[in-house]
Amino acid sequence: MKGKPMRLRLAPVDEGNRAQAEALRVAQGQEGFIETVADCLAEADELPCWRPAGIYDGEKLVGFAMYCQWNEDPDERVWLDRFLISHECQGRGYGHAALALLLDRLEEEYGPRDVYLSVIPGNGAAQRLYREFGFRYNGELDIHGERVMVRERPRLEDRA
């Protein structure tokens, strides 16, 4: 992988790539930090606001994400609810590059909005990555007791 440029792209998970996405696994010891892709896709089947996406480097599936504008939330928050890089692709820069791509996608789809996510305590690698992108804890817990982080969109007064 070293020396070869990444050609990252996002593609919806559908019947054509669902089994491949469901086969993705995180590294040993990370299993408790995120639901399986199969669980995520079952949730997306039930709630149409979810957008499951495969993260590809060219034709190789390297990760998975799921996001939405949560319309059951009175503020209609944009959530990056699931994000993982497959165990064999970790440590190669995919997490950083894919998160940048995902944040661009969220802005394309929903406009310049605050972006929310939640983190399980003990997931230090994810916390560090999210902080690099400007996410900060906001003092909230989600419905599963995970700590909520938010990346606030730049305010007009911040740009002046």
Sheet holding 147-151, edge to edge: 8-12, 51-57, 60-69, 78-85, 115-119, 147-151, 136-141
Residue 67 bears catalytic tag: no
Residue 147's Cβ-count burial label (10 Å; 0-12, 13-18, 19+) is middle
The token duo for 21 is 């996405």
The token duo for 27 is 């590294």
Instruction: Select which of 56, 94, 130, 137 is catalytic.
Output: 130
Question: Could you give the residue numbers annotated as active site?
Answer: 130
